[in-house]
Homo-oligomer: A and B are copies of this chain.
Amino acid sequence: MISAVEVVDVRFPTSASLDGSDAMNPDPDYSAAYVVLRDDDGSEGHGFTFTIGRGNDVCCAAIEALSALVIGTDAADLGEFHRRLTHDSQIRWLGPEKGVVHLAAAALVNAAWDLAARRAGLPVWKFLSAMSPERIVDCVDWRYLSDALTPGEALELLRAAEPGKAERIAELERDGYPAYTTSPGWLGYSDEKVVRLAKRAVAEGYGQIKLKVGADLADDRRRFAAARAAVGPDVRIAVDANQRWDVDRAVEWMSALAEFDPWWIEEPTSPDDILGHAAIRRRIAPIKVATGEHCHNRVMFKQLLQAEAVDFLQLDAARVAGVNENLAILLLAKRFDVPVCPHAGGVGLCELVGHLSMFDYTSVSASLEDRVIEYVDHLHEHFTEPTVIENGRYRAPRAPGFSAEMRRESLRHYTYPNGPEWSRKR
């Protein structure tokens, strides 16, 4: 039984270095609304949601509000735990299923999965891979999905992926999962730094990198040309506009970048604009469209797929309501045959999404074709089980749980506003 929920407002002063700078987010302070679920049997589960600074306290307040729904209950039924957090009729009004209350639900739901997987002695990706199709389907909130996918159809998809699962698990443990890196491409970086980091990425084994675009077209063309020259024609270079454009602008801008062979354009416009993404995709083909890091729930992902608005679906581990909602999203992506390439970076998102993509491979899509997980080399040192990249691939996590636990000393040092890092700045 959950006896206590600890909530910590953790912020890292990343705005000082322009790491993480893009066309819409010039000065992020990467932050986490961090939570520890404590069970009265002594076990614990760690989770968090990611923000970029101001307002992280509002997410903490929402986690506190939601905690009242789970303290005194059992977290062992992971479907019920998720429903309890997303179906409270009064709190639901604040979304429904979006924004701060949904970010807060993500932190708590992911903590419950961490707790359950630790108890089972398995990393979350193997814990999920060991669950029966029936149990997976029972963890999903099916409301609003039946026009695209029914529970029965989902069961069929999962059963069809059972053959070869053991081999895929062994393959992941041996070879890991393909990654791409955004580290060379932050908007605040000089051309020289972009070129140097792009070359290093290729030398390290990455087959894909990503550049931020959207602030100034001449700058984008110059940097893209330099990066393309540095890595050659065979490395995929994706670009990311972070929601900067209207529909026509996106088409014009991407037409002006087409000669450098972009692999995908990510977040060309508002994350809410399903029809806008679909229009852009039709008009800029064969350049591909990717989105999802700000897509707030399964109903929006369903429509992106129904409208044929995306070539790649970029789920986020902590914007939708945690593992349960991401199970729905993985199943929808499989139903529409769209590869999932998760959003990561930030604080701890790499640590989480590795588990989701590996489960996708073992048990849902059963494919690695055109699938890559984003990797950004920031802030991993604060985690007890940090993501490890080898030859441009995510190493499969081996420790029990969700790799979500932050070091106690990091939590203490970066607590906002009273930890040593922040109190000395005042």
Interface residues of A (CB under 8 A from B): 24-29, 51-55, 57-59, 61-62, 65, 68, 88-103, 143-147, 243, 246-249, 269-276, 279, 294, 296-297, 299-300, 302-303, 306-307
Contacts and interface: CB of A to CB of B under 8 A. Distances in A.
Given A57-B65, A247-B146, A99 B93 contact: no
Contacts of A144: 246, 269-270, 273, 276
A93 B52 contact: yes
Nearest to A300: B272
15 contacts: A24-B92, A26-B89, A55-B65, A58-B94, A94-B99, A95-B99, A96-B271, A98-B98, A98-B296, A99-B100, A99-B101, A99-B102, A99-B296, A144-B273, A275-B306
Interface centre among A101, A147, A269, A272 (most CB of B within 10 A): A272
Contacts of A270: 96, 143-144, 299
Contacts of A89: 24-28, 52
A307 B61 CA distance: 37
A24 B86 CA distance: 13
A94 to B, nearest CB: 5
A214 B90 CA distance: 18
A279 B147 contact: yes
Contacts of A95: 98-99
B272 A29 contact: no
A96 B294 contact: yes
Contact of A246 (B52, B146, B275): B146
Contacts of A91: 54-55
A-B pairs with lowest CB-CB distance, top 8: A99-B99, A100-B100, A54-B90, A53-B90, A147-B247, A61-B61, A144-B270, A55-B91
Given A25-B89, A25-B90, 13 more contacts: A28-B89, A54-B90, A55-B101, A57-B65, A94-B100, A98-B296, A99-B99, A144-B246, A144-B270, A147-B246, A147-B276, A273-B302, A274-B275
A302 B274 CA distance: 11
Contact of A58 (B61, B146, B300): B61
Given A62-B100, A102-B99, A88 B54 contact: yes
A299 B279 contact: no
Nearest to A142: B246
A411 to B, nearest CB: 21
A330 to B, nearest CB: 19
A241 to B, nearest CB: 13
A147 B294 CA distance: 21
Given A58-B62, A62-B55, A273-B299, A90 B147 contact: no
Given A144-B246, A246-B147, A303 B274 contact: yes
